Amino acid sequence: MFKKYAGFSLVELMIVIAIIGVVSAIAYPAFTDSAKKSRRADAITVLLDMQLQQEKWRSVNSEYTSTLSELGYDTSVSPDGYYDLTIDSADANTYQMTASTKAGTAQDGDTCASFILTQNGPDISTPDKKTCWNK
């Protein structure tokens, strides 16, 4: 008589592993893209706060400031650490601030590598920039 063994055969296990591999190959890129999109909020939030601080500064001074410390920022890195912050230019009537992806972080390599904000609002001059700002 033959003994009947309970369990899975090697072929069945290989099929399951192949299915897991295909699902992972599809899901992982979608997950990383979604995670990068959610981390863009770090740049947008800090730039909008910087804009508010610039307007407060300008209300009591004769020009906008070009120094992050005068806006109350101790560091040139965004709160979550994914972006480098700079004030590119500032004078009596205009300013331009940028949040650029920080090298070596999970956000490095994102299609939205930098966000620019001026006294007129976000730079949404191209469809790509508009998408980055969720406009």
Q: What is the pLDDT of residues 45-72, one digit of tens each?
A: 999 999 999 999 999 999 999 999 999 9
Q: How far apart are CA 73 and CA 97, in angstroms?
A: 13
Lowest-confidence segment of 6-20, 61-75, 118-132 by average pLDDT: 6-20
SS3 sequence, the chain? CCCCCCCCCHHHHHHHHHHHHHHHHHHHHHHHHHHHHHHHHHHHHHHHHHHHHHHHHHHHCCCCCCCCHHHCCCCCECCCCCEEEEEEEECCCCEEEEEEECCCCCCCCCCCCEEEEECCEECCCCHHHHHHCCC
Domain range list for the chain: 10-132
Asked if pLDDT for residue 15 goes beyond 90, the answer is yes
* Residue 74 confidence (pLDDT): 92
Q: Over 70: is that where the pLDDT of 99 sits?
A: yes
Q: What is the pLDDT of residue 114?
A: 94
Q: How far apart are the first and last CA of the chain?
A: 73
Average pLDDT (68-86) is: 94
The per-residue pLDDT for 1 is 62
Q: Say what the pTM is.
A: 0.79
